[in-house]
Amino acid sequence: MTRATGRPLILGNWKMHGTGSDLAEVERVDAAVQELGVEAGLMLPATLIERAARRARAVAIGGQDCHAAAGGAHTGGVSAAMLRESGATMVLAGHSETRAGDASSVAAKAHAAQAAGLAVVICVGEWERSADARALVAAQLRASLPPGLDWSRAAIAYEPVWCIGGSAVPDAAHLARIFEMLRAEAGEARLLYGGAVDGGNAAELLALPGIDGLLVGRASRSAADFVPVLEAAAGV
């Protein structure tokens, strides 16, 4: 997952959406990824991963979260090894909608993911607009990194929570400050932006210094909305 490919990484997060009838969207996205030659993944509900992985040829299939433990009395939990066995190749850790407790739990999930052979996308971001966002996100990131993290199989996604589900993104100056800090902390890992991303702003975001890819929410659930984001990546 390093920057060595020179291509943007585009990830779509379906969140708690999608049933078997929506697997046709995975196939349409997969066809677009093949045609455009872009690097992309879909982070799907656990119930769809195995079926989607059987259909996908070019788009990577990932999970949205995993438990830090390999197994045990964790009702409703899904381990990283379970995701891997189902066909996932990557997983999110610390998305704002699953981040509970302190950042050490995110670090534990990231460690479990890599131990199971998954690439991991560690999510960070401030909850509210703040002049101290850079310092807040830096502290959150440092606490979310497990010892011995393999940066070649990791990416960082900056998702300001106050943008998620909305239509506005932070201004370029704000993003420049955040991504400058992330680059200093994360070496050669891919740095993604997430929050109100769609086909209308993808090209502009990808043109900003330091942004190596995008984490797309609602615009990733249908090929009609997601393909324009992939096309923007193909044009970079």
> By C-alpha distance, which of 231, 228, 220 is closest to 18?
220
Residue of 67, 95, 111, 126 marked active site: 95
Distances 38 to 60, 74, 215, 231, 234 between C-alpha atoms, Å? 11, 37, 14, 8, 6
159 included as an active-site residue: yes
Q: Quick count: other Cβ atoms within 10 Å of Cβ 129?
A: 11
Instruction: Name the maximum alpha-carbon separation found in the chain.
Output: 48
CA distance 23 to 54: 11
CA distance 51 to 14: 15
CA distance 40 to 52: 14
Residues near 116 by beta carbon (within 8 Å), at least 6 away in sequence: 66, 79, 80, 81, 83, 84
The number of C-alpha atoms within 13 Å of 55 and in the hemisphere containing its C-beta is: 17
67 included as an active-site residue: no
Residue of 159, 174, 180, 188 marked active site: 159
Question: Helix, strand, coil shares of the chain as percentages rounded to 5?
Answer: 45, 20, 40
Q: Which residue is associated with the tokens 């769809």? A: 48
Helix (H, G, I), strand (E, B) or coil at 155: strand
User: Which positions are annotated as active-site residues?
Assistant: 95, 159
